[in-house]
Amino acid sequence: MFNEVKSAMQKPTRKYTYREVDESEVISALEDLFVIRPQTLRNICKHFVDELTLGLKEDGHTLKMIPSYVANRPTGKETGSYLALDLGGTNFRVCEVYLEGDSKVRLTQKKFSIPDYAKCGQSDVLFDFLAESVLAFITENNIPTESDIPLGFTFSFPVKQTAIDKGYLINWTKGFDCKDTINKDVVELLNEALARKNVKVHVSALVNDTVGTLMSHAYNDPGTMVGVILGTGTNAAYVEKVSAIPKWEGGPVESGEMIINCEWGAFDNERVVLPFNKYDQMMDEGSNNKGEQTFEKMISGLYLGEIVRQVIVELIQRRVLFGGISSPEIETPYKFETAYMSRIERDHTSDLIDTKMVLQELLNIPYPAPRDRRIVRRICELVGTRAARLAAVGVAAVVTKMNRVDSGCTVAIDGSVYEHYPHFANRMKDALHELLGMFEENVSLQLGKDGSSVGAGVIAALA
């Protein structure tokens, strides 16, 4: 009787049954799909430069190349206190930016989480939520409101900007989908919401996060000519000569320069040169913007974990991983987070204990064998490395378009993927060396932390 009870209490064990596929054979097949050779990098870069040029010529091309109406870079001597609202992804920030001069900045900020109902509901729901958050920040920090406070609004989605404080939404990205906002002026929507909530704040500048990152870093380093975001989404902005923007209709610009918002996440939506494989296609099919933002889907934090999940699920279905045993978690779209990839790539233990914990505790895979852990880790490496190399192609293309390969420049990069993903910066540098040779040393990649927020304050000051 005791033995029967003991037997019933024992946790049942599952015997894994693998198809006879060698581990190296599995990895080799995946490498064929994900590894980008130097010549392919160069081909993509050449096409990228051509697309940048086309977008500057006229509207209607894949790269929107939007003039930002920011025509002056900071000197580092600007002073004053400004508010900034930074809406760029899952979270957003409200900040007080205090410019002290001498390239010094003080920043007070608070992060807010956007609820799903606000991300995909009516526009007034989203903008009222933003206004309420601004009010909460002002109240909490005892910011005086005797007169309207100028606010720089960092809005990291494609807009048709027609003035420094006016821009019409073209389309949502990064999981947002407030359909009634399309073709509306987002500055007006925020100002109306602030008025509804009796908040004495007025939007004085509309800023893309990449433009903000560039301007923030330029406040400290005047050699900064490019701003890049590598986080939930991705984009770039750079300093262009007005004479090289045939579609510019805004009249003479005293500085002769204009910061251009590339909206490079849409690069190669036509799928001409990017190595968009079957797993990318599976991820794209399940996304809420199928066929769009092709470049972004291959390099940004919102999608990298999902690509890894698609690979794992297919290998499970073929019974070459985990003996064909799945779990509800691994079958759920976007459940494999990009943060898990970072944790797995940091796992340098001989038997990949941390990888085992991610798979068992977070994804409920009952017993991932050492072979399985090695395969999963290699999948993460392949997807992460490809992302970094493609990001480097974008940087190389922009620097080439600016004719700054010889003279060089600083590239300010903000975003969680660049800052926190293991080896991402070094992998970008390696790819830049393959693309630019010895001139790679002329391109300085610098972390521009909190750049989009500070940059909004800097632009509000210049405005």
Question: Tens of pLDDT along 361-392?
Answer: 999 999 899 999 999 999 999 999 999 999 99
Listed in order, the ranges of the chain carrying CATH 3.40.367.20 are: 15-68+221-449
Report strand pairing: 409-414 vs 443-447: parallel
Task: Give the pLDDT of residue 121.
Answer: 84
- CATH code of domain 73-207: 3.30.420.40
Rg (alpha carbons) of the chain, rounded to whole number: 24
Listed in order, the ranges of the chain carrying CATH 3.30.420.40 are: 73-207
Sheet of strand 149-155: strand arrangement: 104-113, 91-101, 79-87, 149-155, 201-207
- Whether 209 is catalytic: yes
Task: Give the pLDDT of residue 437.
Answer: 95
* Phi, psi (rounded to 5 degrees) for 462: -70, -30
Among candidate residues 128, 165, 174, 450, the one labeled active-site is: 174
Task: Give the pLDDT of residue 438.
Answer: 94
Q: Which CATH architecture describes the domain 15-68+221-449?
A: 3-Layer(aba) Sandwich (3.40)
* Element at 45 (helix H, strand E): helix 38-57
Among candidate residues 209, 268, 414, 450, the one labeled active-site is: 209
- Whether 221 is catalytic: no
Task: Give the pLDDT of residue 44.
Answer: 98
Task: Give the pLDDT of residue 92.
Answer: 87
| Listed residue (265, 237, 267, 227) closest to 44, CA to CA | 267
Measured CA to CA, the distance from residue 144 to residue 125 in angstroms comes to 27
Are the C-beta atoms of residues 94 and 134 closer than 8 Å to each other? yes
Task: Give the pLDDT of residue 118.
Answer: 87
Which residues are registered as beta bridge partners of 445? 411
Measured CA to CA, the distance from residue 44 to residue 376 in angstroms comes to 28
Cut 0.75: pTM above it? yes
Task: Give the pLDDT of residue 20.
Answer: 62
Which residues are registered as beta bridge partners of 166? 163
Query: What residue ranges of the chain have pLDDT lower than 50?
Result: 1-13
